[in-house]
Amino acid sequence: MVTRGVVAGAAGAGAGTEETADEASAVTPEGVLEEELLRLAGSVPDPELPVLSLAELGVLRGVRLLGPGRVEVRLTPTYTGCPAIDTMVTDITQVLRDRGMTEVSVHTVLAPAWSTDAISAEGRRKLAEHGIAPPRPLGGGGPVPVALSVRCPHCGSVDTTVLSRFSSTACKSLRRCESCREPFDHFKEL
């Protein structure tokens, strides 16, 4: 039985906190399959932000091959009670079953908690490209700014105001740029 795990790439602060594969075992057939399963699960689009994959969002914590046709996936929601988690589980299960996995178990992992630091650089780029102001990296440990300036993804101005603390999803707020007057979503810092 294979028991080593492949952890999602270092997309964010939470990556690398679980067991990691050593270089020798990564070239075994099981290691290659785990890497492929991790890539497949990570390519699933986020149901609420389909411009991002689960890997880019940083919610996929890892994949572990348990035996022939059996795989375990670890997933951390962006916040407790996230309504999209069931859809994520269904979509991951489907993509892995399409790859031949007959038994897919997806476990929700709450610790360490997800934060916006887990969003990859590519994910941040895609958010901005699609008109959603990406969160600033928290960087951990430094002083927390009293007021955050949020850059408009349309014109780049930091003269923006909050219209609503919640937008199309609970993890975003609705803002307006006072320079170009365009409204936009802002992915909240968590």
Q: How confident is the model at residue 165 (pLDDT cuts 50, 70, 90)?
A: confident
Question: Order of strands across the sheet with 172-177?
Answer: 132-133, 183-187, 172-177, 160-164
Q: Which of 76 and 28 is assigned the larger pLDDT? A: 76
Question: Order of strands across the sheet with 60-67?
Answer: 5-7, 60-67, 70-75, 103-108
Question: Tens of pLDDT along 125-143?
Answer: 999 999 888 887 665 555 5
Q: Which of 139 and 23 is assigned the larger pLDDT? A: 139
For residues 34-51, average pLDDT? 94
Count the alpha carbons within 13 Å of 99 in the hemisphere toward its beta carbon: 23
> Where does 5-116 sit in CATH, by number?
3.30.300.130
Question: What is the domain partition of the chain in residue ranges?
Answer: 5-116, 131-187
pTM over 0.75: no
For residues 42-47, average pLDDT? 96
